[in-house]
Structure 1
C-alpha cells in the first residue's frame, strides 16, 4: 500500500484563550496579519481566528471568552507539541532578543544550531515559540530541506555529531554542480 503523500503543512490550529489575547500575541507581538474569523464549526461556542505567518499558509487559533492565559508551560509529554518554529530574516533575528525583552517576554537568547540560529520564548498560554533564521540560501532550484539532506549525508560520512557550516557549504556546492552551475 502506498503512503499518503502530503505536499506540505496546510495550517496549524492551536487552542487559545480569549480573542483579545490571541490577537495581541499573534498579530501584536509576531506581526502576523489577522486574516479573518468565524465560529469553530465543530464547537460553535468557540471562535476560530486565522493569521498569516508570511508564507501563504495559516496559523489558526480556537478562542473562547471564558479562557484566560495561564502563562504555565504547555505540556510536553508524548503526543504534545514541543514548540512551534517560525522563520524570521537575519535582520529581524538580530533585533528579536531586544524586542522580546521590551515586551517583557523572557527568552533563551540566541542559540547556535549549526545551520540556523534560534531564540526561544513562551507565548502567553505557555507554548514554546522558536524564532529561526537560516544561515544559508539554497542554490536556485533547491530548497532548504534538500540542502540539509545532502549536508546530513556528508556529516554522517565524516562521523560528525551535527551539521556544521562546512557540510552546508559543500552540500550547496555539490547541488549547484549537479545543476551545471
Structure 2
C-alpha cells in the first residue's frame, strides 16, 4: 500500500453569495486580487470566481445572483469547516481591530495563541475567518512547520501546556544547529565578557 503524497493546498472552494458581495469581501476586505472568472462548470446557474490569497494558491468562490449574504454562523458539525486562517504581517495584524471596526465588522479582538496572534470574524455567508500572525520567522531555508515540530518537542519535554515564545526561540536554535555547519568544536552558549 502506498500514499498519495500531497504537496500543498491547491485551492479551497467556498459557496458564496452573489458575485459582487463575493468580490467586495475577498478583494475589498481581505485584499486578495480577483484573478480569474468563469462559470461553475458543474452548475450553469453559478459563477466561479478565483482569488489569490497572497501565496499564488487559490481561494475560489461559487456565486449565484439569487443568493444574498447571511452572516449567521456556518455549521460546525463534525466534517464541516470550522474556519479558514490567513497569514498576515505583524504590521497588518496591529491594524486589524481598527480596520474591522471602520467597516462595522464584528470580531473577537486579538487572541494570544502562544506561537501566533489571531483575530476572528465572519465572511458575508457566516464562515469564520481568522487572520493569523506568526510570532517568529523561520531560519533561512526552513519552514514554519520545521520550527513548529521542534517547538512541540521542546514543549512536551518541558511538560508545558502549550507552545510559548521560549519554545520557539529554543526550536529555532536547534533547527539552525542541525541545518548549518560550523567550524567551531563547541557550539554551546558562552559569555565573552
Does the CA-based 8 Å contact 2:17-2:124 persist in structure 1? no
Matches within 5 A, 1:50-89: 50-89=50-89
Deviation of 1:2 after TM superposition, in Å, equals: 1.4
Partner of 2:131: 131
CA–CA distance in structure 2, aligned partners of residues 109 and 71 of structure 1: 18
The RMSD of aligned alpha carbons is: 0.8
Partner of 1:150: 150
Moved over 3 A (4+): none
CA–CA distance in structure 2, aligned partners of residues 178 and 76 of structure 1: 41
1:19 aligns with 2:50: no
Q: Return the index of the structure with the highest Cα Rg.
A: 2
1:46-71 CA distances to partner (integer Å, 9 max, x unpaired)?
00000010101000000000111111
Matches within 5 A, 1:94-109: 94-109=94-109
Deviation of 1:157 after TM superposition, in Å, equals: 1.1
Does the CA-based 8 Å contact 2:86-2:132 persist in structure 1? yes
CA–CA distance in structure 1, aligned partners of residues 90 and 41 of structure 2: 39
Q: Note the residue ranges of structure 1 that are not aligned, 5 or more in a row.
A: none
Q: Note the residue ranges of structure 2 that are not aligned, 5 or more in a row.
A: 183-193
Considering fraction of residues, name the structure with more strand: 1
CA–CA distance in structure 2, aligned partners of residues 144 and 90 of structure 1: 15
Q: How many correspondences in the alignment? A: 181
CA–CA distance in structure 2, aligned partners of residues 58 and 156 of structure 1: 35
SS of equivalent residue, structure 1 residue 35: strand
Partner of 2:3: 3
State TM-score, norm by structure 1.
0.98
